Structure 1
Amino acid sequence: MRKLIIILSSVFIIFMAILFIFYLIKDDHSRWQVALGGVLAGGFPLILLRLKNIPFNIPIIISYYIFLFCSLFLGSISSFYLHYKWWDSTLHFFKAIFIGVVGIALYKQCIPDNVRSDVSAVILFLFVLSLAVLASVLWEIYEFVGDLILTHTMQRGGNTDTMYDLLCGCAGGLLIAIYASVRKQKV
């Protein structure tokens, strides 16, 4: 798993660094900033290598890079957000599911088995749902602040875009929370 993290991080960082240099030379402010963010976000999983036990499995790590590629490169740099209205809401839906799965993985890693057996399905449902919804809210705050400080392209739809994104995030969070709750009840 450590080797996979190093390979994926290295490939993504190099890819985004090349884009950063390319768009910096072209003086394309919005794209070089996104590419620089991609360099930083691509390196984040390298922090996991410092842990004795990595709490995330291979599908979670691969999903992280798929999300980065889809949101940063396809969404922002390749302008999928502008050309495909469904792209933004689909990524919000996926992000909420992803964050819910990460929450479940951390729950399993950090909470001892004997304590987990006493946690009700309702509490697990609320934990996963609230984590996914919190991620959606924080992302919308990021978009709002980003539009105030850096660019004016993140919330082109204004309040309608924000609410639609939050609804998609809630739907994704609800879906994974139901899944976690049903699995908990079966155990």
Structure 2
Amino acid sequence: MKKRKSFWLNAAILFYIAGLAYSVYYNLNGHTELWLVPVSCLVPFIVPIVFKLLHIRLTERIMILNLLFCFFAAIVGSTLGGYNQPYYDKIVHFGSGLLLTMAGYILFCVLKKIRRVENKEDTYVMLIFINAFNLAIAVLWEFYEYSMLVFFNYDCINHYSSGIHDSMTDMLCACVGGLLITLGIYHSYHRHKPNFLTKIYEELFDANEKV
């Protein structure tokens, strides 16, 4: 089982590197987003650095999910012009809602120092917390995009073409993604049986139990 996980992690790393290499070729042939390639090189390190600062050992499953999201958000979206395509940014915001709600679940369990939420009261608080965490990050991201418009006149929120519509739909997509994860986690607790979502944290807990 360990060899299989290592294979998928190595495959994800190679996949990301290949994407970076292609983005350099793509932008050297008539496109203008080459300056974003170094940014795409740094983005995958954000999650590992956060975990390092928190003294939490990363699992391979989380590293793979991080690389896949960064690939579509940073490489395809930014360096290959994905955000210029209709609805692509909505798909990315939907994906961020999935991952950030899962991150909220991990954070909740870490703060509670538990492997699994057992009692009903904690379950209800956890369901509220993970969605509040997801939506808080979504709002902060829109604040960042708005500040880019105000201070640098860089219209990444499409203010001049759609007004508030772009920001609202971005947050709605993140919310929908978060609700889907919430349903998956609630289903696990309702059945008193771990599923793929809860196992992500349980695996992380087990990896750090003796650290």
What's the counterpart of residue 77 of structure 1? 79
Cα distance between partner residues in 2 of 1:22 and 1:91 = 21
Cα distance between partner residues in 1 of 2:54 and 2:157 = 37
Gaps of 5+ in 1: none
How far is the alpha carbon of 1:125 from its aligned partner? 0.9
Q: What is the SS of the residue equivalent to 2:164?
A: helix
Q: What is the SS of the residue equivalent to 2:150?
A: helix
Cα distance between partner residues in 1 of 2:134 and 2:117 = 20
Paired amino acid for 2:83:
Y
Deviation by residue 1:104-139 (Cα, 9 ceiling, x = unmatched): 233334433389434432211101111111121122
Give the TM-score, by structure 1 length: 0.74
Deviation by residue 1:1-49 (Cα, 9 ceiling, x = unmatched): 799879866874796489579969x893xx2443232222122244346
Residues 80 and 87, structure 1, Cα contact 8 Å, conserved in 2: yes
Identity %: 20
Give the TM-score, by structure 2 length: 0.67
Change (3 A) 1:72 1:7: same
Aligned residues: 183
Q: What is the SS of the residue equivalent to 1:141?
A: helix
Change (3 A) 1:179 1:22: closer
Q: Considering only aligned residues, what root-mean-square deviation do their CA atoms show, in Å?
A: 3.6
Cα distance between partner residues in 2 of 1:148 and 1:13 = 34
Cα distance between partner residues in 2 of 1:154 and 1:88 = 11
Change (3 A) 1:144 1:89: same
Paired amino acid for 1:172:
G
